[in-house]
Amino acid sequence: MPVSEKIVELGKRRGFFFVGSEIYGGVAGLYDYGAIGTILKRKLENLWRKYFLGLNENFFEIETTTIMPEKVFEASGHITNFVDPVAKCIKCGTFHRADHIIEEFLHENFEGKSAEELTSVIRKHNIKCPRCKGDLTEVSILNMMFPIGMGASKETTAYLRPETAQGAYVNFLRHFNIMRMKLPLGLAIVGKAYRNEIAPRQLLLRQREFTQAELQIFFDPAKADEHDNWKQVSKHKLMILSGKKIEEVSCDDAVKKLKIPKFYAYYLAKVQQFFLDTLKIPKSKFRLRRLSDEEKAFYNKIHFDIEIELDGIGFKECGGVHYRTDHDLSGHQKISGESQEVFYDGKRFIPHVLELSFGVDRIFYALLELNYAEDKDRVLVKLPFDLSPFTVAVFPLVNKDNLPEKAKKIYAELKKYYDVVYDDSGSIGKRYYRQDEIGTFLCVTIDYDTIKKDTVTIRDRNTTKQVTVKAIKLVEEIKKLI
């Protein structure tokens, strides 16, 4: 059974994720998170906040509306440019995203190709509908945004935001003035975005409603080739795809050979460190890929994708580092008539933007897949302790002889320091396996020796090894283990 199918089964069984509106048959591209999945997702989001907002004292999180007026997206270019190529099957009527079905057939990247080019490739290679093998129509273009009619008569056109970014851009000048008019200024948004995907697939990897974590960094373009903390990363090796292999390129060399500004390279290094050092993504499963002019988004001057290798899929984009120049602020200045210029460092200018963008759901799925393991008759999810839904599970060996009362006291004490779950259902072996499957880092068992000797047993998820410690020292011993 492919790992993805095992993850689906585990997701349903243990409450990580499952198809939305399931009792009505579900809807493609819409997924719900269960109790355990929501805990993991929040921990991922909070690790992101702690890491990226900690990079600069002038980085802040904001929350903006998910419905925005049409003029916002006219200014950003989404009305014209936020489109995907679509081909319809003449036989069964199914719509397909043209570049994706070609990629699946030829195992090459066709993103960014025109509708005419994609039609030509389909005809040349006689590519058929993946569902019924019928012929495909010529490729056309579909805008991916969800329109909304607002008001009683729906007279005002608005859209569900296709990205969180525009919320930061339309609020930039107000926050610049509030935050003492300093650059660089970082505005982060963690929240929902919506895209009318033609053929959503691959579980959480391509959805119509999804969560983004994005940091928009507004800076002086005259200082693009400098960063106050450059020495921290100058020798750091970036994992960059070159041709068909990954090369380790120092930030210094990336600046010189790849013509990347230091300000950009600094954050590229910080993004890589987040994935490798904080999320513990294996180095062999990670890479940075520079997009060509044909592939990259219309607003980007420099665009690197963050990619993670997944079973049966290959390397999949989970985020990106985008140099958006002044595209967005200039667009909003033109359409709104409101100046987006700032006076800073003795001159007046429109700031440039460096965007750090992350697909939370894709990273969530990658964490599950890359940490999924089978050990004889058990399944375990080897998440790092700070991503484990629960750091510790507390069990009474049996539900009698004052063991539950003792266990609940220990549980209450541990909750002051760690994320803890109490479990007294089923045999001790079943409880261990249940916690292994949701990724709980440690299990603490209260047994008869707890009553006699004031000792408890700590079990490690990954190795199943157990150690006996004094209950009074339990908090300290757990701290050592994590």
Give me the residues paired with residue 85 across strands: 141
CATH for 83-143, options being 2.60.40.2300, 3.40.50.2000, 3.30.40.230, 3.40.50.300? 3.30.40.230
Rounded-to-integer distance, Cα 206 and Cα 401, Å: 52
pLDDT of 110 reads 84
pLDDT of 470 reads 96
Rounded-to-integer distance, Cα 279 and Cα 358, Å: 13
Q: CATH 3.40.50.800 occupies which residues in the chain? A: 390-481
Rounded-to-integer distance, Cα 329 and Cα 339, Å: 9
pLDDT of 295 reads 85
List the alpha helices (DSSP H) in 337-402: 360-371
* Furthest-apart CA atoms within the chain: distance in Å: 79
CA angle 472, 478, 482 (to 5 degrees): 165
List, edge to edge, every strand of the sheet that includes 67-69: 67-69, 156-160, 146-150
Give 326's DSSP letter: T
Mean pLDDT by 10 residues, the chain (482 residues): 93 96 93 97 98 98 97 92 87 88 86 87 91 90 90 89 97 95 97 90 91 98 96 97 94 96 98 98 97 85 97 94 96 96 96 98 98 95 96 96 96 96 95 97 96 96 96 95 90
Rounded-to-integer distance, Cα 378 and Cα 121, Å: 47
Q: Are 268 and 249 in contact (CB under 8 A)?
A: no
pLDDT of 289 reads 97
Determine how β-strand 352-359 pairs with β-strand 209-219: antiparallel
pLDDT of 294 reads 82
Report the SS3 class of residue 217: strand
Rounded-to-integer distance, Cα 99 and Cα 121, Å: 10
CATH superfamily of 390-481: Anticodon-binding domain (3.40.50.800)
Q: Are 64 and 171 in contact (CB under 8 A)?
A: yes
Angle of the 3-14 helix axis to the 428-438 helix axis, nearest 10: 120
Q: CATH 3.30.930.10 occupies which residues in the chain? A: 35-80+149-370
Q: Are 442 and 465 in contact (CB under 8 A)?
A: no
Give 49's DSSP letter: H
Q: Are 434 and 404 in contact (CB under 8 A)?
A: no
Tell whether domain 35-80+149-370 is in CATH 3.30.930.10. yes
Chain position carrying tokens 């420099």? 302
pLDDT of 475 reads 96
pLDDT of 437 reads 97
Identity (one letter) of the amino acid at 245?
Answer: K
